[in-house]
Amino acid sequence: MTSPLLRDLLTEIEQGRYAVPEIQRPYVWTNPQVRELFESIYKGYPIGSIIVWEPAPEIFEEYGDLFRAFSKELEDRRRNFKYVVIDGQQRLLSLWLAKRGRVTIVDTYGHERERTINLYYNVDNDEFFVDRARKKYENDPYVYRISDILDYVKFEDVEDLVESKEVDESIQKKKIIKKLRKVRDSLLNYPVNVYTIPESVLKYRKEGDDDNFLEIFEKISQMFVRLNYTGTRVRAPHLIIALLTGKTRRVLGVSFRKMISKLVSKLDEEGWDIGEGALMRTYLVIATKEPRFSRARRMLNELSANQIKEYLEKLDVTLMYVVNKVLKYELNIKKPSFLKSEYVIVPITYYAYIKENRLTPSDIKGLIKWLILASFNRRYTGRLDTDMAEDIASLTKSKDITTLIKNLQTSEIQEEWLDRSVDREHLTMMSIILRDSYDLMRDATIRIRDIDGKHIHIHHIFPRSQIQKYYKEYGSIGDMDLETAYNHVANITIISETANENIGNKLPYVYLSEIDSEILKSHMIPLDKELWKLENYPQFLEARKQLIMEKKNELIEFR
């Protein structure tokens, strides 16, 4: 165990001495967590040990693809790698972020995002705080950025820092300087506990062209899991990926994380940004029939590396089939934001896998009914583990998607559920029942289901500005406030970007008159032109709501 001072640790970070194994999740700490870290350091409280491994230099040369730098800014210093961080990445990167104020984080799948923090210290009340308004404090004699306090090169003495603000003697300049020196000394001279794993635990051996590094990498994965499994710092999907990456890299020489990253990239190209939790649960049910991480972990350990890879390949094929053929085309669900919960992907993909990616018209019909009902029942938005386990067990036993309806609290859509602002469950239903509609343009022949998801828009039939202007003196429409009335489900439809731009802020009495009646019927828009007038907006909502209910009942045969 060594205890380098924080100033020396920051220098090593900036030099690029620390590498992160790809099994670890990217940086996720929030600004309040960073602030609390610095408060603890300032007060001399323990912040836990940083656990590292110092491998042979040739490991970084031979297996560089298994490691990443803390941030994009340090990528060109990979040649300086000296330590592998087993535990403590979040704390180390928080120190680096606070010192720089802005870094570029590369996430699990290679996506870049800029991470900024404006962390300050207030001399007057002796407190650390985070605030976005940087210019607000530029000349405040009592407030100083932590990045400036830590920068002892630019500001060799805190007196230089105070001078940069032109602090007047009348506000006790000497007291401010004295306090800032104390803060700087407390931070920079804080001893950080760094524990280096003994060589006997992770001993590297090389004999000719063979070495034992991949065995070591699997041990690192296991350490990472043991250190984080019982805590809240690392989510279960990352731990599962860590275990599977260690095993596949050791046996097959390929990384599970990189394989699944390719799948994520394919989904991104299709406009489907699925969260890691939903993606990994989908993998679990295909590989083990168990969606709960805690129970699936034991079964995953029993899989061979080849089986792990084969199940991922099956997930790839099935998930792309579900997204493109089932969701985007058959159901007209163009993007995850049109789903109440992205976790509906899990049972849908599992069902497609059971059916060998050959869903019949009856399957699609049953899926439509379940998906609409599940959305209004808020399935997977509360008891995720329990609900998911119940549904996967039902599918495994029955191999029939409609059996999932029995697991819902209600099998009817209540009319009053439509008398509220549009939410994702409404978008799910409207997307499905509008799938065969035409685009809302004069003489349109393009179906909504054939429009690319990147060019799909949610359109309000009556524009907000016109509603607010006309009903302003009333302050409400019936028992609804103006915003709720504007966002009423009966006022929205789904059209192309081009159609939305052409309509702009026009009143429905103007632009609907130019559109063929069959197109209007396909959008469940009442043909009575009197209802297209602002003064009759409440009656329009009621009439269209009834048409929506009829279409929904016809589609899924509730009656």
Q: What percent of the chain has pLDDT over 70?
A: 94
- Grouping H, G, I as helix, E, B as strand and the rest as coil, residue 262 is helix
**Which of the pair, 39 or 383, is modelled with greater confidence?**
39
Give the residue-averaged pLDDT of 160-166: 79
Residues 6+ apart with CB under 8 A from 494: 332, 430, 431, 434, 437, 448, 456, 457, 458, 459
What is the spatial distance between Cα 451 and Cα 455, in angstroms, rounded to a whole number? 7
Tens digits of residue pLDDT in 527-546: 999 999 999 999 999 999 99
Taking 3-state DSSP, the helix, strand and coil percentages for the chain, each rounded to the nearest 5, stand at 55, 10, 30
Query: Would residue 529 be called left, alpha or beta, if left means φ above 0 and alpha means ψ between -120 and 50 degrees?
Result: alpha
In the sheet with 83-87, reading across from the earlier edge strand, the strands are 67-68, 18-21, 83-87, 50-53, 194-196
What was the pLDDT predicted at 414?
85
List pLDDT tens digits, range 409-422.
888 888 888 888 89
Find the mean pLDDT for residues 117-121.
Answer: 94
What is the structure's pLDDT at 135? Answer: 76
Query: CB neighbours (10 Å) of residue 197?
Result: 17
Looking at per-residue pLDDT, the higher value among 21 and 345 belongs to 345
**Per-residue model confidence (pLDDT) at position 231:** 41
**Alpha-carbon distances of 18 from 107, 194, 220, rounded to whole Å:** 17, 12, 15
Amino acid identity of residue 488, one-letter, is H
| Separation between Cα atoms, residue 270 and residue 262, nearest integer Å | 13
Tokens coding 170: 């009348």
pLDDT digits (tens, 9 = 90+) for 519-529: 999 999 999 99
DSSP state of 447: B
Q: What is the pLDDT of residues 222-258, one digit of tens each?
A: 777 677 654 434 466 776 777 788 778 778 878 888 8
- Tokens at 171, concatenated: 């506000």
Closest CA to 509 of 466, 457, 477: 466
Whether 460 shows a pLDDT value over 80: the answer reads yes
pLDDT on residue 232: 37
Higher-pLDDT residue of 480, 45: 45
Mean pLDDT rounded to a whole number for the chain? 88
CA separation for the pair 282, 289 (Å, rounded): 9
In the numeric block, which tokens belong to residue 512?
A: 């609907």
Q: 110 falls in which pLDDT band (50, 70, 90)?
A: low
pLDDT band at 493 (very low <50, low <70, confident <90, very high): very high
d(CA 337, CA 339): 5
For position 558, what pLDDT does the model report? Answer: 42
Nearest CA-CA partner of 435 in 557, 271, 555 = 555
pLDDT value at residue 109: 62
pLDDT tens digits for range 338-357: 999 999 999 999 999 999 99
Q: Where are the beta strands (DSSP E) in 191-295?
A: 194-196, 206-207, 210-211
SS3 assignment for 392-431: HHHHHHHCCHHHHHHHCCCCCCCHHHHCCECCHHHHHHHH
The pLDDT, as a whole number, for residue 401 is 92
Given a cut of 90, whether residue 552 has pLDDT beyond it is no
For residue 493, list its beta bridge partners: 459
The residue among 324, 237, 325 whose CA lies nearest residue 282 is 237
Q: What is the pLDDT of residue 28?
A: 85
Among 29-33, 40-44, 260-264, the minimum mean pLDDT is found in 260-264
**Per-residue model confidence (pLDDT) at position 557:** 66
Per-residue confidence (pLDDT) for residue 44, from 0 to 100? 95
Confidence of residue 108 (pLDDT cuts 50, 70, 90): low
| 308 token code pair | 């792990």
Question: Among 206-220, 260-274, 284-298, 480-494, which is the least confidently predicted range?
Answer: 206-220
| pLDDT for res 160 | 82
What is the structure's pLDDT at 229? 52
Token pair of 534 as six digits: 């602002």
Give me the mean pLDDT over the 57-61 stretch: 84
CB 324 within 8 A of CB 426: no
The arithmetic mean of pLDDT across residues 265-282, rounded, is 89
Kindly state the tokens that stand for 275: 């969260």
Per-residue model confidence (pLDDT) at position 138: 82
Spell out a b/e string for 498-535, using b for 16 or more CB atoms within 10 Å of the CB, else e.
Answer: ebbeebeeebbeebbeebeeebbebbbbbeeeebbebe
Question: Of the candidates 38, 32, 33, 43, which has an alpha carbon nearest to the alpha carbon of residue 131?
Answer: 32
Residues 6 or more apart from 498 whose CB is under 8 A from it?
439, 441, 455
Residue 153 clears pLDDT 90, i.e. is over it: no
pLDDT, mean of residues 134-148 = 86
CA distances, 470 to each of 27, 537, 558 (Å): 49, 10, 38
More reliable by pLDDT, 455 or 249: 455
Q: What is the pLDDT of residue 437?
A: 94
Query: Can you tell me whether residue 310 is helix, strand or coil?
Result: helix
Q: Could you tell me which residue, 171 or 38, shows the higher pLDDT?
A: 38
